[in-house]
Structure 1
Amino acid sequence: MSTEPEAGSGVTVVVSHTTLPNQRDAVRALWEKHMAPAVLDNPGHLAYYYCLDSDDPDRITAFQHYRTAEDAVTFLQHPAYREYEREVAPLLAGAPQVRTLVPTWIKPGK
């Protein structure tokens, strides 16, 4: 049985943050402290990409693919997420941009 997500299944959430100038490394450190362990332990996350923008030194984007929309909502209540949100807020230039997507095609893994 494959553990690969199937097209049309689950939900993808794309979150983009703009940090205050020169705070991206501090935001990343907080993400690694709080979020990386929580994501690794979360069976609802089928895939997660934490990305630093090559063209904007103050921009971070996370692509998160969840098993279900309910898994995405439930993760927002995780204590690590709440702590991360509290600690990172003073380092951000504003609220994140959040988009929810339904995958229609996914390249299978090898």
Structure 2
Amino acid sequence: MPPSAVFIRHTTKPQQRDKVFAVWQKHMAPAVSANPDHQAYFYCFDNGNPDVIVVYQQYASAQAAAVFLQTPAYLAYLAEVEPLLQGDPEVTSAAPMWSK
């Protein structure tokens, strides 16, 4: 199976970005670090908007991405982070063609 990439753009409620990051560190950093199907993961703060987080994830496959979304760590993260977000994230799936 080919790798699968996901670009995610979260908009937090005003001045909640640091709280969202703390929730991510609590639940997702350990889960992503332990997941061999995460080939790359970049969690970034948007330099132009203090309420935006941009994430790049590369999974071993699209199936691996779907499986991760059902893990207890991800579900706990969602439950805790959703009240801090301004609606649903923008999500784009992509097929990595080249990387360095």
TM-score by length of 2: 0.97
Point out where structure 1 has 5 or more consecutive residues left out of the alignment: 1-8
User: Quick one: which of 89, 99, 109 aligns to 2:82?
Assistant: 89
Which 4+ residue blocks in structure 1 deviate beyond 2 angstroms? Answer: none
User: Quick one: which of 27, 47, 55 aligns to 1:62?
Assistant: 55
Point out where structure 2 has 5 or more consecutive residues left out of the alignment: none
User: Quick one: which of 20, 33, 36 aligns to 2:29?
Assistant: 36
The equivalent of 2:91 in structure 1 is: 98
Matched length? 100
User: Quick one: which of 51, 73, 96 aligns to 2:44?
Assistant: 51
2:4 is aligned with 1:11 = yes
Secondary structure of 2:41's counterpart equals: strand
User: How large is the RMSD of aligned CA atoms in angstroms?
Assistant: 1.1
Shift of 1:105: 1.2
Instruction: Give the number of the structure whose residues are more often helix, by fraction.
Output: 2
Structure showing greater radius of gyration is: 1
Once the two structures are aligned, what percentage of the paired residues are identical?
Answer: 52
TM-score by length of 1: 0.88
